[in-house]
Amino acid sequence: MDLTDFDQTKLTLPAKPRLSKEQKLYEAVLAAAIAADRQGLFLEVQTVLDQDPNLTADDVNTIFPSDRFQNAMEKRGIKTTKNPSLTLRQESFLQAYLNPMNLLTPQVLAKRMKISHTELDGWMRQKEFAGAFSAKAEDNLRKYIPIADQALGQLVQSGDMKAITFLNQLTGRFDPNASKASIDIPAMLMSVQDIILRHVLDPAVKRNIARELIALASGQSHLTALPEPTPTTDSDTITVEAE
């Protein structure tokens, strides 16, 4: 071998690129998770923290749900949850209960999964479990929106008038309450009062009409207004002639 052109500087390995703080955190959580799994422990926040005293719960909660971490666990055959605050048993229950095909109540499903009523009640009181339950339910509901839109479209195409009306309401093209909402009832009653008072001459009668209309405008029965006595006229008097 001709060593005349041998470059000894190339024997030195290139320095490893410096890791960012995010990459260092990821590597630390990953190493702790692998160490916990090798001890036969299920990956939860505490079991991971026990492997590295420099980690905090916030560190684990930040890295755990990331796709990169979940993929790394899956490639190694390590069972975990996307939410480190849940046990595998809790997440299995959530997945089963929120399955679109599930028609069982939580209590019946828990009994079939050999989860006691006391244990389930305890889960429901946990902030982490309740939050995950709500989040998964909302996520499931969002998945149904395209299915609901498709079903609504099929009903509209078939000429279903209720579906057509609902679609128009949904898109804002038709609002059955719009005309009702646009009517100002108190203002309308005041206009009616003005019309009546222009044609009624007796002051006491005018005041009585005003009282009843005001009662109606305030949402009360017109009968709640106490009428003012009105003087009787000669036409109202019945005269009885003496024999």
How many CB atoms are closer than 10 A to CB 164? 16
What confidence category does residue 98 fall into, taking pLDDT thresholds of 50, 70 and 90? confident
**What are the residue ranges spanned by the domains of the chain?**
21-75, 88-152, 183-227
Listing DSSP states for the chain in one string gives: ---TT--GGGGSPPPPPPPPHHHHHHHHHHHHHHHHHHTT----HHHHHTT-TT--HHHHHHHTTSHHHHHHHHHTT----SSTTS-HHHHHHHHHHT-TT----HHHHHHHTT--HHHHHHHHT-HHHHHHHHHHHHHHHHHHHHHHHHHHHHHHHTT-HHHHHHHHHHTTS--TTHHHHH--HHHHHHHHHHHHHHH---HHHHHHHHHHHHHHHTTS-GGGSPPPP-PPPGGGPPP----
- Residue 175 confidence (pLDDT) above 60: yes
Summarize pLDDT for 180-238 with one digit per residue, the tens. 555 666 677 777 777 777 777 777 777 777 777 777 767 677 666 667 766 654 444 44
- Residue 239 confidence (pLDDT) above 50: no
What are the contacts of 31-40 at 24+ separation with CB within 8 A? 33/69, 33/73, 33/78, 33/80, 34/76, 34/78, 37/76, 37/78
C-alpha dist (Å) from residue 211 to 186, 192, 193, 205, 220: 13, 13, 10, 10, 11
What confidence category does residue 178 fall into, taking pLDDT thresholds of 50, 70 and 90? low
- At residue 137, the pLDDT reads 75
Summarize pLDDT for 117-138 with one digit per residue, the tens. 899 888 888 888 888 788 777 7
Q: How far apart are CA 211 and CA 221, in angstroms?
A: 11
What are the contacts of 107-113 at 24+ separation with CB within 8 A? none
What confidence category does residue 82 fall into, taking pLDDT thresholds of 50, 70 and 90? low
- At residue 243, the pLDDT reads 45
Least confident segment among 6-10, 144-148, 192-196? 6-10
- At residue 223, the pLDDT reads 67
Instruction: Look over the chain and give the mean of its residue pLDDT values, rounded to a whole number.
Output: 77
Mean pLDDT of 90-98: 81
- Residue 31 confidence (pLDDT) above 90: yes
